[in-house]
Structures are given as structure tokens and as C-alpha cells.
Chains A and B, each alone.
Chain A
């Protein structure tokens, strides 16, 4: 009897241990996450020119700029992506900020004007930093990492431990908005929209028995599947409008455009919907579709980067994570809501391509699906 349903048997016996194995791999990785270095850029406004009230003379004092760069490089908690010399690159800060918006870095460390001179004269050292506060849980970790670099700098150069670190929060929620609501909704939206999209469609093919009979009418298979896409896309549009309207009525802060947020939710939902139809086209029974949904959704969640940063995963898991829609949901929505990013970026195009591939695969599977009346 068991062999009559081999695929379900496969799912029941192979998928749960695979998920446990995946959890195991991710669990091992979680210990490494704490030491995963924070990506930063260093922008230096320090110069060797001492500005005297009476005359301008070239400083003969020590240059502490290079030793601090070395300290940042030596810190295990920081990963220096780039150094900008602001006295030569006039748009250094703008370029660094763009990297922060694009989430290529998490912090900008700034060496202020006369940094070396002040240390030379025995004044307390000054370091400024701009922290990406779109994810509030990461702010303290970033500041700690900068402190670590300062400690190394002090030790390596036998300086007095007087130092001042000034942090500026970038992309934080303005005071007149509810930061808690904003942060929780950003995380929930992508899970919710993809999950609902999948749940809505996993049974549309496998459950609808009259499809077999419809195939004995002049209607083509491609027309049947297209009709399903159109119908559920309309449901998705209504769902997204109501989601955005409800969020706005609860005073959601959106740094970017509301239309971009709507489009982001739409493309996320559409990828979930395409994944659901793909599962349905590929399943022979309702049970099989439900089990596949459970397995796929669990993998989507585990590899979404929410629990373990994708960059901390082994390269083969990163490759899988980057093609899964949910991994692009959080950065896309967070980017629009907290950073004011435009929707048209890497995450959007990945979601679009994944959806198109899933649609093509669903059409192929549905065309080959056997129906008998």
C-alpha cells in the first residue's frame, strides 16, 4: 500500500531529516554570527595641514590617520570595505552614504578634521560614526565594533585612553512615528505576503477537478492557467491595497514612496503566488501539495536571512538563499520603508526573474500534466 504513494512517502521520510540537517547547519553557523565582522567604510577629513590663526604652515606633527586605518583592519569585528580620503574625493560622504542605503555596509566611520593634530597635542581623540539604524538590533553591535577599533588604536600607539565616539543614527524612525510598530511590520510584511500568496494558490490546480472536463472544450491549457494567474493577481492587488491602507491608518512611517511599497508587496506576493501555482502544477494530490508547501515554506523562512545573515552561511546555502524570494523580501521592504530606496534595485529584479522562471515552469508542468475524464 505504501508504494502507491511514493512521492508522499519521499516527502514524509526524506524532507523532515533534511530540514533537521538544515537547522543543524544553520545552528552551527549561529555561533559564528557573533564574530561576523561588520562591513564599514572609513571617511577621513584629517589632513596634515595645521591651521594656524596667524599663518598656514604644513604640519610637522605625527599623522595618526594611517595607524587608525590599521586598527580598523586589525579589528575582528570590522570589515573595512573602502577608505575615502575626503580631502581628495569631495563626494566621499555621498558615496559612502549610497553604500549604506544599498546595504553594502552597515556603518560609516568618520575621521574628523585635525584628528591627528588633536591627538598629537594630547587632546581627547574624536571619532564619528553613522550607523544604519534601519535594523535597531544592529546599532549597539556596530558601535561596539568601532570601540574595538579604537581600543586597538590606543594600545598600538601608546596613547592616553581618552577618546570620544559620537554615533549618528541614519534611517531611524522619526520621533512622531511608532518605531516599534514600524520595525515589527517591516519584518512581518514579507513573510505574510509570500505566505498568503502561496497558501492561496497551492491547491488551485490539484484540487479543481473540472479542469479535466474543461480540456474537452476548445479552451487551451495555457488559457486555463493564464486565467488562474489573472484571477489570483487581482486578489493580490486587492490584498496589497488593503495592507498598505491599514498600515498607513496606523501611522506607518514610509521614507520612500507608497507606490514603491505597494509594488514591492505586489512583486513579493506574486512570487509567492507563482511558487504556489508551481507547487500545485507539480503535485498529484492535495496531500502532496500541502506537504510540499510546508517543506518549501520552511526552507524559505530558514534561508531568508532573518535568523542567520545570508553572508554568514556557507557559499552553497548562500547560492540557494539568493534565489529564494523571501531572502529579498525583507531588504526590499526595509529599504523602501526606512531608507527611502527606490524599488528598482537588485532585490526587485531577482524577485521578478524568479517569478518569471516559476511561471514558465508552471506552464510547462501544466501542459504535461495528465488529465483523464
Chain B
């Protein structure tokens, strides 16, 4: 008889070890493992079909145990056990992508608070007191508190939805695409509100998103691709893991073309060259500081006209792009090797 002894770190809010999710013959999530500490903001990044939502659905007790394997604990409770579901759901909050899934538009913000607070057994008066605090933190105008939600602006609805997700003071808050459908200026505003809430309430947050800018507020970023977790670390560490520790040379060249790019690539220390615009390339290389002047000289020697140059640290967006590209290349290599092997055996 096997006996698993599980020792929980009190600071750990989420533990996931070797998580695999399948629906019939379709294997959606492969061997995903990660731990999340109290108060951390985790960004789950990946293109559609990466498995982000599936992992969150396991953590929020939405997928039956028969469809997943592995060791999963959330706020110290195991979603494998159906009896624990009620406790887990009491300890977590959820802010869906669409506000219409989280709000009754015909009712006032306070009436919405009353409904959702009652589902957690919270008293109306206490819930309203908490709501008032959140409304103030999130700058929801006081004159809208008793009006119908449908009269509120898109941004106000989004912030109200966040407040509703936090109304029962959950240990972990899941936010599904919090910045999707929001214009660029408001995106940063929403991210800063989330950071503000995180700092004030010490709530662990999971942000499931396509928006790579969200990494700005994340303590850790999980990059997923085709159900596998490629990375799970702080965005800063991930960027530093790039060649030249994430340092990039951004060079603007007049009439840039493939021929010029190919000739620049011949400069030996270059580890990565990316074309990021019509006339702009970004370069990462070994011994960045010592090799940068040599690189410039080599480009000038090739009669290319440099019109602009800057030195910068790679963004998370760039890291994500490089990492996913690498995986795609690996996959292509594997595929072509397999094809060669088949050809040989035939």
C-alpha cells in the first residue's frame, strides 16, 4: 500500500505537480508543474490552445477528476476530492473575460455585490462595507454605486467585475483576459489597478492572457505552448536568460533587405537577429559590450547606411517571441528528422 505524505508550505497557495489533462484521446495538458506563493501575481501566457484555460479550470474545480492526473493543491485543498470543492470555491475568486458573465446589468453595483456576497454566506452590511472600500481603490465613481450597471462605462464595469471577484477576500483570484477588449491607454490603467489591489490585499493573482504587456505586473510568468509549460519564472529572469543577458542592439538601416541581413548574420558573435520593422533589426550576441563596436564597424564595412541605433534590454514580448520561435524550430527539426528516418527505413 502506498501512502503519500504531503507537507504543505503555509506560504504556498497553489501547488501543481505533473498535471496532465485529457479529454478522451485528446491530450490537452502535458506534465505541467509549478508552485505559487502567497501574494504573487502569475501571468499565464500562450497563444490560443496553449492550455492556459484548461489548467485554470482544473484549479477552479471545473474539470472532473477522470479527465486529469497529477498532484494539485489550491489553498492547501485538493480539487481531486469533490467534498473539498465547496471550500476551494470559497477560497478563490474569478473574474471572467466578459463582464456580462459576472454582472447583472439590470441591477445596481450594490445589488450585484449583495448577490455574490450571499453566495459566500457574507452578511449584506459587511459585504457593502468591503465593496465600498474596493470601489474607492478602483475609482468607481460614487454616483454610479446605486445606478444600474448597464449605465456604467466599459472600464467601470471591468473594475466592478474585479471588485465582485474580490468581495469574499479570496486567497487566489483568477482573472481571465482582464485587458482584452480594452483600448491601449486603459490597459495600463487596469494593470496598475490589479497591482494596487495585490499590494493592498496580498491576494495571489492568476492572470490568463494573450496580452504580453501584463508581464509588467507579474512576479512570475508561465509560458505555455501546446499544453506544455515552456517556462515558469520571473519575467526579469527569463529575459536575462536570453543571449547577451537580454541586451539588444536595435539598429535602423536605410533600405534594409534580406541580402543585407544575411551579410550582417555572418558576424560570428551574433546569437540572434530579428527583423522587427521595415528598416529595423534587433541583435543579441556574445560578449555584448566588447562586440557591439565591432558589429557596427562590420555593418558600415558592408556599405549599409545606419540611420539610427540604440541599446536596450529585451522586452517580455521579445522573449516570448524568441522562445516560441525556438520551440517551433525544434518541432520542425524533429519533424524533418522523423521524415528522413522514415525515408531511410523505407
Instruction: Please say whether chains A and B are actual partners in one complex.
Output: yes
Q: B105 CB to closest chain A CB, in angstroms?
A: 9
B103 cross-chain contacts in A, Cβ below 8 A? 210
Is the C-beta of B89 less than 8 angstroms from some C-beta in chain A? yes
B94 cross-chain contacts in A, Cβ below 8 A? 213, 216, 373
B34 cross-chain contacts in A, Cβ below 8 A? none
| Cα(A213)–Cα(B116), bound, Å | 9
| Cα(A373)–Cα(B116), bound, Å | 16
| Cα(A218)–Cα(B62), bound, Å | 12
B102 touches A218 (CB 8 A): no
Is the C-beta of B329 less than 8 angstroms from some C-beta in chain A? no
Q: Mark A209-251, 1 if CB is under 8 A from B, else 0.
A: 1101110111100000000000000000000000000000000
A217 cross-chain contacts in B, Cβ below 8 A? 89-90, 116, 119-120
Q: A320 CB to closest chain B CB, in angstroms?
A: 38
A216 cross-chain contacts in B, Cβ below 8 A? 60, 62, 89, 92, 94
Q: B112 CB to closest chain A CB, in angstroms?
A: 9
Chain B residue total in the interface (Cβ 8 A): 20
Is the C-beta of B184 less than 8 angstroms from some C-beta in chain A? no
Chain A, 187-219, CB within 8 A of any chain B CB: 209-210, 212-214, 216-219
Chain B, 102-142, CB within 8 A of any chain A CB: 102-104, 116, 119-121
Contacts A213-B96, A373-B96, A373-B176 given; indicate if A218 touches B90 (C-beta within 8 A): yes
Is the C-beta of B101 less than 8 angstroms from some C-beta in chain A? yes
A373 touches B90 (CB 8 A): no
B89 touches A210 (CB 8 A): no
- Closest B residue to A371 by beta carbon equals B62
B92 cross-chain contacts in A, Cβ below 8 A? 216
A210 cross-chain contacts in B, Cβ below 8 A? 100-104
A218 touches B119 (CB 8 A): yes
| Cα(A373)–Cα(B101), bound, Å | 7
B102 touches A213 (CB 8 A): yes
A219 cross-chain contacts in B, Cβ below 8 A? 119
Is the C-beta of B22 less than 8 angstroms from some C-beta in chain A? no
Contacts A210-B102, A212-B101, A213-B101 given; indicate if A218 touches B86 (C-beta within 8 A): yes
| Cα(A219)–Cα(B94), bound, Å | 14
- Closest A residue to B87 by beta carbon equals A218
A to B contact number (C-beta, < 8 Å): 39
Q: A223 CB to closest chain B CB, in angstroms?
A: 9
B89 cross-chain contacts in A, Cβ below 8 A? 216-218
Q: B100 CB to closest chain A CB, in angstroms?
A: 5
- Closest A residue to B85 by beta carbon equals A218
Q: B99 CB to closest chain A CB, in angstroms?
A: 10
Q: A30 CB to closest chain B CB, in angstroms?
A: 46
- Closest A residue to B104 by beta carbon equals A210
Q: B110 CB to closest chain A CB, in angstroms?
A: 16
Q: Mark B65-94, 1 if CB is under 8 A from A, else 0.
A: 000000000000000000000110110101
Q: B111 CB to closest chain A CB, in angstroms?
A: 12
B116 touches A209 (CB 8 A): no
- Closest B residue to A223 by beta carbon equals B119
Chain A, 332-369, CB within 8 A of any chain B CB: none
Q: B163 CB to closest chain A CB, in angstroms?
A: 14
Q: A214 CB to closest chain B CB, in angstroms?
A: 6
| Cα(A283)–Cα(B116), bound, Å | 25
Q: A215 CB to closest chain B CB, in angstroms?
A: 8
- Closest A residue to B176 by beta carbon equals A373
| Cα(A373)–Cα(B174), bound, Å | 11
Contact pick for A218, options B60, B96, B120, CB 8 Å = B120
Q: B55 CB to closest chain A CB, in angstroms?
A: 14
Q: A113 CB to closest chain B CB, in angstroms?
A: 73
Q: B108 CB to closest chain A CB, in angstroms?
A: 15
Q: Mark B280-292, 1 if CB is under 8 A from A, else 0.
A: 0000000000000
Q: A205 CB to closest chain B CB, in angstroms?
A: 15
Q: Mark B26-70, 1 if CB is under 8 A from A, else 0.
A: 000000000000000000000000000000000010100000000
| Cα(A212)–Cα(B116), bound, Å | 12
| Cα(A217)–Cα(B103), bound, Å | 14
A218 cross-chain contacts in B, Cβ below 8 A? 86-87, 89-90, 119-121
Q: B172 CB to closest chain A CB, in angstroms?
A: 12
| Cα(A326)–Cα(B213), bound, Å | 60
| Cα(A213)–Cα(B94), bound, Å | 8
Contacts A217-B119, A217-B120 given; indicate if A209 touches B101 (C-beta within 8 A): yes
Chain B, 159-213, CB within 8 A of any chain A CB: 176
| Cα(A217)–Cα(B60), bound, Å | 10
| Cα(A30)–Cα(B100), bound, Å | 51
A212 cross-chain contacts in B, Cβ below 8 A? 96, 101
Q: Mark B208-228, 1 if CB is under 8 A from A, else 0.
A: 000000000000000000000
Closest 7 CB pairs of A and B: A217-B119, A219-B119, A218-B86, A373-B96, A216-B94, A218-B89, A218-B90
Which residues from chain A sit less than 8 Å from chain B, CB to CB? 209-210, 212-214, 216-219, 372-373
A209-B98, A216-B60, A217-B89 are known; give 13 further A-B pairs, CB within 8 A: A210-B100, A210-B101, A210-B103, A210-B104, A212-B96, A212-B101, A213-B94, A213-B102, A216-B89, A218-B89, A218-B90, A218-B119, A373-B176
Ordered by A's residue number, 27 sampled pairs between the chains whose C-beta atoms are within 8 Å are A209-B98, A209-B100, A209-B101, A210-B101, A210-B103, A212-B101, A213-B94, A213-B101, A213-B102, A214-B116, A214-B119, A216-B60, A216-B92, A216-B94, A217-B90, A217-B116, A217-B119, A217-B120, A218-B86, A218-B87, A218-B120, A218-B121, A372-B62, A373-B94, A373-B96, A373-B101, A373-B176
